[in-house]
Structures are given as C-alpha cells and as structure tokens.
Structure 1
Amino acid sequence: MTPSFDFLTAEERALGDRFRRDGFIVAPAEDRAALDAIRDLMVGLARHRLGMDEGAERPDPPGRLLDRIGDVVPVEELNAFRLAMIGGMNAQPWLRAAYFSVARRTLSAIVGSELCMQRRVNLSIQLPDDDSSLLPVHADTWSGDSPFEVVLWIPLVDCHGSKSMFLLPPGPNAELERNLHRFAARSVDEMFAAIEPDLTWMDVPYGHFLLFNQNLAHGNRVNREADARWSMNCRFKGVFTPYADKKLGEFFEPITLRPASRIGLDYEMPAGFHE
C-alpha cells in the first residue's frame, strides 16, 4: 500500500532505498572521535596484554600494531588473545555508547528511533593466511536470528578484498534461498563456489562503518592480504519488533526507549475498571 503522503525526508528515503537494494551501507563515521577512542582503547589493551611498556614512545602510526599483530601473536594463541580483548573492551562502560554514536543517524534512518542493542560488542581478528578464523557462508536468520536485526560492522584497520567480508546481494540471495534445499547434502564450500560470481566484497577503510542486512548470505575467506583484519560487530533492532532466539534482557538491551513508551510499559489499568 502506498501512503498518500511521504513522511520520510528525502535523505531517509534515499538511504532506505539504497539499503533495501544493496543490502548494506558503507559510510564515514558519524562520530570520528568516538571511533578513534575505540581504536586507541584496543591498541592500549593489546599493548598491555603483550607486556609492552605503556610509557615507551610509539613511533608507529595509530593502528599499526593492529595491522601487524601477527608478528607478535602466533595463530595458536590468537583466540585466547581475542577473548582477552573482548573482555577488556566490554569492561569499559563507555564502549557501547561510543560504538552506537559511530552510526547513530544511519541506524535511526534504517532501523528506527527506539532501538535495542546487543549487550556485548564482538571482535574478529583474522591473521594473514590463517584458516582457523573463518566464518563460512551463512545468513544469521538460518540459525535463529530475528529477520528484524541489522549488524553494525566497524573495522579498526583498512579492510578490503580478502581482508574484509563478502555479502550476497538481495536478488541473488533470493535465488539462493529458493534453491537452498539443493545444498542440504553438500558442503559450504560448494555453496560458496555457486554464489561466488555474485558476491560483493566489502571495501571499508578505517574511519568508515558498514551496516548490513544479516538476512543475506555473508561470511569471509582466508585473508590473503599482508596485514591482519580487526573488525568489531554488534546487532541492533527495533525494541518492539519480533525477537527470535536472541531475547530482550538476555542478549539485547533497550538503549533509546522514549518517554511515551516507558510510560505505556509501566501503565496498569485501575482496579475495578470495566468497559
């Protein structure tokens, strides 16, 4: 049904049309200071974890340690290192608000003004030529996520080519889902080979964010670039949209609930009232 009046601004309409058409948006950080603070936090946590002298001069540009983390963290220690980073960053009370501010306006335009956010921000580190940190082709809804969720993916280094992630556009994705039963007895590598010609590889330099539709098939491959990939990800959805396996209060937490909604949620009909 087409409304008689368009209640969206031209900018909101264009952004929404782009997201529905492409399945993603790549844009400059809306709060660059917040993004830089997050990267500085991760560099500091990494230096502390590796026993580097916090008082020592840092001749490298910001983020160089992240790019070259494979020089000091071997593959067999990577997951323990990554989990330590996740614990350290989520212990910072300001992290989630800063993360949200990197794409606040775009999230409002795409998802809505009353949002809930994943309670813990996630982190991926992928070393060059490491096949132990792969995320095979999948759509999150296939494993129990709500189709109303979106993923905000923020790189801490320049991400391009195999150092980034891939996404299957909406048209080819619909075709894949129509024929998904044909892959029931086949491997994910066979599925990847079938869709590879249609994939879009995300080019997301540091200073930008990626917001994508997690209902679309996506994943990563072996990083064949010279440097490591560091990317953070977190889910957002409308507070009042349907939930699936990830529940409100367990996995999600409201972050922008408005006063009228809070009043309505707290309201109780007076005792003895009958229509």
Structure 2
Amino acid sequence: MTGGSAGRVVLIAGPTASGKSALALKLALRSGALIVNADAMQVYDTLRVVTARPSDGEMDQVPHLLYGTVPVSTRFSTGRWLEAVRGVMADEAGRRPLIFVGGTGLYFDALQNGFADVPEIPAEIVLQVQQEIQEMDAERRMQMLRSADPAAAGRLKVADPQRVIRAVAVKRATGQTLSSFQDTPQTGLLANSVVERIILDPDRDLLRERIAHRFQAMFSNGAVDEVRALLAQQLDPALPAMKAIGVPEIAAWLDGRMTREEAIDLATIATHQYAKRQRTWFRNRMGDWPRRDPLKL
C-alpha cells in the first residue's frame, strides 16, 4: 500500500495473536490510512486489555475506528457492524485509504459479499429461546431447528446452540426463516474499491508461544480490573462480552473457584482453541487470500 492511495482498502485477517494490529499500524503510518476494527470482541468498551485492543499509544499514532465504541451491555451483531462500516466509508470516501483488521471471519465475509438484512430481534424472544434449549442435547436442538427452519438445519452438521437460538428467534419474531433472509442476494461494500487481502499465517509453535505470553501479560496489566468492572455491572451472562475469552476464567479466580495459575491455563487453552477455529474458517471460507508469515513482513 502506497501513500495517497484514496479508494484503496487493505483487509488484514488472521488468528488471534498473529500480529495483525502491528502490521495494520505499520501500513497505516506508511500510507496515511485509517484503521477500522474487524474484530467482534474489540468493538466493546470496558475490555480493552482482555480483548487485546490496540493500546492508547498506538491509537494516538493513527486514527482507529470502531474500537471500544459499543457498551458491554449490548448484543452487537454483524449487521450492525456492517452499518457502522457503511457510515465510515461514506465519511471517508475519496479521502483516505482504509485498513480493516481483525480476526472475525464473518465480518470480512459481510464486508465483501453483503449480509442478510435481518430485522432486530427483541431481546426477550432471544432470552426465551435460550431458556428453552438450555437443557437440550444436540439431537433435540436439531429437531427444534428443523421445525423452525428446515433449510438452516440442512446446512448444519451439528446444532450449535447459538445458531439454533438465532434461527428460532428470527422465525418467532418475524414469521420468516433466517435462511430466507440469508438467501436473498446481497451486495458487499467494496465493489468500487481497489482491495488488497492478507491473512497472517504464523508458525503454529510461534503462535502458541505468543498466546501463552499474551495472556500472562494481560493478567498482570489490567485484565483483572476490567473483569471486576464488568462483573460490577451485573449483566446477563449470555451477553457476548461476558463470554469473551478470559472473562469467565478471571471471574472464577476472583470468586475463589480456581487459582490464578488455573485461570491463566484455562484461558490460554481457550485461546488456542479459538485460534484453531479461526484458521479453519480462513482455510474454508477465505482460501484464495494470500498467506503471509508475520516474521517476514
């Protein structure tokens, strides 16, 4: 990316702890670009350290947009993120290049291909469905999904609870299936942009080391205070921010249900598992994106 490249967009994806934010900052300083968050957890306030948002010093160097702007009490959807991005692109059209950086594959997919315009679902309906499936096993969840949205059920091998909740809640709230919304042709936001795509693909052993080191550092540099502040708000445990990696583990340590070392170990394991899921998404859904080794950039 070169300086003065208005109308250009760079997309930087990769698993957690792969060096995405550092690369985005490097490119932005070189080109005069704005950095736009494409990570579903980094949109939330309160949890800067826990979600590994860029530091205040980094954000002072280059404008960073859509970081920490959503209250943790909110359930922020991909559709709402896309609308926020639409506003950013309208404001910056023809002025400065944009760098989208994050680990949420669905955000990148929506940015390029569009996203189903599903109406906002009332929270009480979502909560009702959550309570109904709480004690269900995978087979019963799948039966419920088949009844509400046969097409959606046919696309899943496993009835993931969150997907079942979403599909059933949409059907109850709108009378239409989620799959009918999703099957409506969509248009992304990058049709008029020159787009460069990068997936950071570090060595697995290196990534494991980075993940272990990062959570140790988080625990010692503000993550505990952030979780205390989050818990003080007495929020619904089902909210996305309450399930951010590190939050349940630190909460358990604060309650005396596990030791500090156990909390760190469990959060590190959860982060490894998340990174594995991210790699799988990128391989299956973004297989044509160029892979780059962060050590060679």
TM normalised by structure 2 equals: 0.26
In our comparison, the structure showing a higher alpha carbon Rg is 1
Query: Highest relative contact order (Cα 8 Å, sep 6+), 1 or 2?
Result: 1
Greater strand fraction, Structure 1 or Structure 2: 1
TM normalised by structure 1 equals: 0.27
Greater helix fraction, Structure 1 or Structure 2: 2
